Amino acid sequence: MGVAVSIQQVTKTFGNLKALDGVCLEIAEGEFFGLLGPNGAGKTTLISCLAGLVRPDTGRLKVMDFDVQGDYREARRLLGIVPQELVFDPFFTVRETLRIQSGYFGIRQNDDWIDEILDNLDLTAKADTNMRRLSGGMKRRVLVAQALVHKPPVIVLDEPTAGVDVELRQGLWQFVRRLNNEGHTVILTTHYLEEAETLCARVAMLKLGCVVALDSTRNLLDRYSGHTLSLRLANGDDLPLSIRQQASLIGGYLNFHLASYDEVEPLLAAVRQSGGVIQDIRMSEADLEDVFIDVMRGRDGARERAGS
């Protein structure tokens, strides 16, 4: 598999604000990649650099080996960008918008594919409606459709599900997943972390313009937050302090934070030994939100815990 997107040492300053501070990323062809980070982290700026909308101060960006400045024609042909802002051209209908967008990419007869996109995004009924008359969520769908008219091998979605209803969200993911299965590389930013967790095989987390975490979603979940073992005891108060101190008490459950499954058995043994009677037991996985919060706090406690 080749490299779909390569970002090397990209820096961008707005005034005296460092929006991107030496970002390096490499995304392989066919990946479903998540770009996460709090508001203002630099996600959109990074995507804009890739799209050629923002020119980085230093560093290089390539799409499938084509430099986004030097070989901008090839690079842009390979990219489909769904922008974060809800923008539209009020002069045209949905179909006109999509035909025009196809033309910009040099595609003359694109109606079959346009119909397919419209169908998948549940826009067929609105095909001949003026953009102005669409609801916010529908405008967002048109933005997705516009990004796909030229069947770009690399699809970048900047918060595509903001303001979109549940049904379309499901439909959109199904469609994007299908495209990913057919070989399209997908890069996604979202603030819905469960979405990222289920969809993205690998994620990068950005904070103040720096990549602060970059790994497969699986590894991040394992390494950063481990698992939580929740116990309800008939006689919780009787437990020795040494054990109780390890746990936090939430809703009658003692929650133990464990780095790995290996720690389960010793803990249960210790509880039993001290006479604890277990009424209920639950094991829960950390989710990406836990990881995210850990990473963004900047303390590497989770990592240390995982390593020890």
Partner 1 sequence: MSGFRTLLYKEVLRFWKVSFQTVAAPVLTALLYLLIFAHVLESRVEINGLRYTAFLVPGLVMMSVLQNAFANSSSSLIQAKVTGSIIFVLLPPISYVEFYLAYVVAAVLRGLMVGLGVLVVTGWFASLEFAAPGWIVVFAMIGGGIMGSLGMIAGIWADKFDQLAAFQNFLIMPLTMLSGVFYSIHSLPAFWQDVSHFNPVFYMIDGFRYGFFGVSDVSPVVSLGVTSVSFLVVGLATLALLRKGYKLRY
- Exposed/middle/buried for 199, CB within 10 Å: 0-12, 13-18, 19+? buried
Q: Which does 101 bind (CB under 5 to 8 A by kind): partner 1, ligand ATP, Mg ion, none?
A: partner 1
- The HSE-up count of residue 164 (CA atoms within 13 Å, CB side) is 24
Nearer to Mg ion, 53 or 269 (CB): 53
Q: Which of residues 8-67 bind Mg ion (CB under 5 A)?
A: 43-44
Q: Which of residues 43-62 bind ligand ATP (CB under 6 A)?
A: 43-45
What is the closest distance, in whole angstroms, from the C-beta atom of residue 70 to partner 1 in the complex? 13
By rule CB under 5 A, what string of x and - marks binding of each residue 65-84 to Mg ion?
A: -------------------x
Q: Is the Cβ of residue 200 or residue 247 nearer to Mg ion in the bound state?
A: 200
Q: Does residue 16 touch ligand ATP according to CB under 6 A?
A: no
41 contributes a contact to ligand ATP by CB under 6 A: yes
The nearest distance, CB 15 to ligand ATP, in angstroms, is 6
* Positive or negative: CA dihedral 180, 153, 125, 172: positive
Separation CA 49–CA 55 (nearest Å): 6
The angle subtended at Cα 32 by Cα 31 and Cα 38, nearest 5°, is 130
98, burial (CB in 10 Å: exposed 0-12, middle 13-18, buried 19+): buried
Binding positions for partner 1, 80-99, rule CB under 8 A? 81, 83, 85, 87-92, 96
> Residue 17 or residue 269: which is nearer to ligand ATP going by CB?
17
With H, G, I as helix, E, B as strand and everything else as coil, classify residue 164: coil
- Site residues for ligand ATP per CB under 6 A: 14, 17, 19, 37, 39-45, 84
- Site residues for partner 1 per CB under 8 A: 14, 48, 51-55, 72-74, 76-77, 79, 81, 83, 85, 87-92, 96, 100-101, 103-106, 108, 146
